[in-house]
Amino acid sequence: MDSLPLTKPDWIRARLPGGEAWKKVGAVLARRGLSTVCDEAHCPNKGECWGRGTATFMILGDLCTRACAFCAVATARKGRPLREEEGEEIAAAAAELGLDYVVLTSVDRDDLPDRGALHFARCIRAVKTAGRGAAVEALIPDYHGEELTAVIRAGPEVIAHNVETVRSLQAAVRDRRADFDKSLRTLREAAEAGLLTKSSILLGLGETEEEVLSAMDELRRAGTAILVLGQYLRPSPRHLPVVRYLSPEDFSRLGEAALSRGFSSVISSPLARTSYHAREKLVDARAGNAVSGGAGRGNPRRVETMGRPPGCKLIRLSAAVEGGIIRSLSIRGDFFASPEAAFDRVEARMAGTALAEAGRTFDSLLAEEGVQAFGVSGAGVAELLMAALGDNTPPGTS
Ligand code: SF4
């Protein structure tokens, strides 16, 4: 991997917060007294996720009994008293926000006899019995044995647990009570119980590429189905410094390496976090988009890419493409597009578009929906999409 200067590169730019959906998420959470990891961990994707009306709920209080050197969540020897009604409040918030996929995570609660596993299970059950049929992803501490069984019995669709970094950096990056083998144990036990499992690695903490590949191999051997690779960003001067910023090309290469190891779904991009586009990752994994699940094999191929194609500012593009047809498209970045709801409709209406028509269709939908757009164009979107799919002939640009 090439080394890069340690000033924050321009591809680490998050979408600015704002918009009606963003305000609604904030209002619902505040009214119901709920915490999110989006806030507590200073997630760079808050503008985007909340702008799309989604968030990741953080349960068991806002004080963590562990003190990992990369994490912004506040720490204490003893956590907050549990809120009995927390699960019901989350279920009600999810209903208000119209969520059909709910991600729950928590702080570590080493101060509780069951480390919070029973409360975690209660919250999952509350969401699952609230009547909306929402799927639940549980991003859990390193539970194992009876703790993990309690959570699994509550019926989540996905169990996520992060190894956070490569084996050699565990002691420097994570709390002394966490380690790679304990995390693998959680993932292995969940996979052996038949659950779809997911884990994340933060990059840029000083790991080598070989160590990342080796961590992928170990995760696969533990049955992990979904992998997330993202850039570590220093939350404050009290936290570990960034050793290097990986380029978008580094992320593409590592993402391909992960797919070739058999993960069902991989998201590898600088701002990727465990719960980023979580619903789409479940859809991918269920469709079995492993290894070469490309357009020609009947499964949608998902691509995540970013770049500055001609006529565009820096854009980040996620798409699913099947048999030469776009199934879904999401575009984020530095560009200006207004009104935002109409731009969201353009993205939604791109589903069903032939790749060969992507550029022309995008431009005509912008016009139809009355979107004022600067710094993004059909030609640029088509070119970036084709480059990510491995075809350098930009369609619909002539
Ligand atoms: S990526 Fe996850 S934690 Fe970050 S803002 Fe989105 S939902 Fe919240």
Measured from CB, residues less than 6 Å from any atom of ligand 1 are 37-38, 43, 45-46, 49, 54-56, 273, 275-276
Residue nearest to atom 2 of ligand 1 (CA): 275
How far away, in angstroms, is 282 Cα from ligand 1 center? 16
How far away, in angstroms, is 274 Cα from ligand 1 center? 8
Mean pLDDT, 10 residues at a time, the chain of 398 residues: 65 71 91 93 86 90 96 95 96 92 95 98 95 87 98 96 98 97 98 96 97 98 95 93 92 89 88 83 61 36 79 85 82 84 88 84 90 91 83 38
Pocket probe mutation, ligand 1, options 43, 139, 229, 269, max atoms within 8 Å of Cβ: 43
Q: Which atom of ligand 1 is nearest to the CA of 273?
A: 1
What DSSP string describes 25-62? HHHHHHHTT-EEHHHHTT-TTHHHHHHTT--EEEES-S
**Among residues 233, 68, 258, 289, which one has the least CA distance to residue 163?**
68
How far away, in angstroms, is 306 Cα from ligand 1 center? 19
How far away, in angstroms, is 278 Cα from ligand 1 center? 9
Pocket probe mutation, ligand 1, options 56, 58, 202, max atoms within 8 Å of Cβ: 56
What pLDDT, on a 0 to 100 scale, did the predictor assign at position 149?
Answer: 97
CA dihedral for 208, 211, 217, 220, sign (positive or negative)? negative
What pLDDT, on a 0 to 100 scale, did the predictor assign at position 131?
Answer: 66
Residue 152 DSSP class: H
**Cα 239 off chain centre by:** 22
How far away, in angstroms, is 45 Cα from ligand 1 center? 6
Residue nearest to atom 3 of ligand 1 (CA): 38
How far away, in angstroms, is 200 Cα from ligand 1 center? 13
Pocket probe mutation, ligand 1, options 22, 37, 42, 158, max atoms within 8 Å of Cβ: 37
Q: Which atom of ligand 1 is nearest to the CA of 37?
A: 3
- Which helix or strand (DSSP H or E) is residue 387 part of? helix 378-389
d(CA 306, CA 203): 17
16 near 47, Cβ under 8 Å?
A: yes
What pLDDT, on a 0 to 100 scale, did the predictor assign at position 322?
Answer: 75
CA dihedral for 346, 347, 350, 356, sign (positive or negative)? positive
Residue 282 DSSP class: H
216 near 257, Cβ under 8 Å?
A: yes
Tokens of 106: 């928590």
What pLDDT, on a 0 to 100 scale, did the predictor assign at position 123?
Answer: 97
Residue nearest to atom 8 of ligand 1 (CA): 38
Pocket probe mutation, ligand 1, options 16, 99, 273, max atoms within 8 Å of Cβ: 273
What pLDDT, on a 0 to 100 scale, did the predictor assign at position 283?
Answer: 67
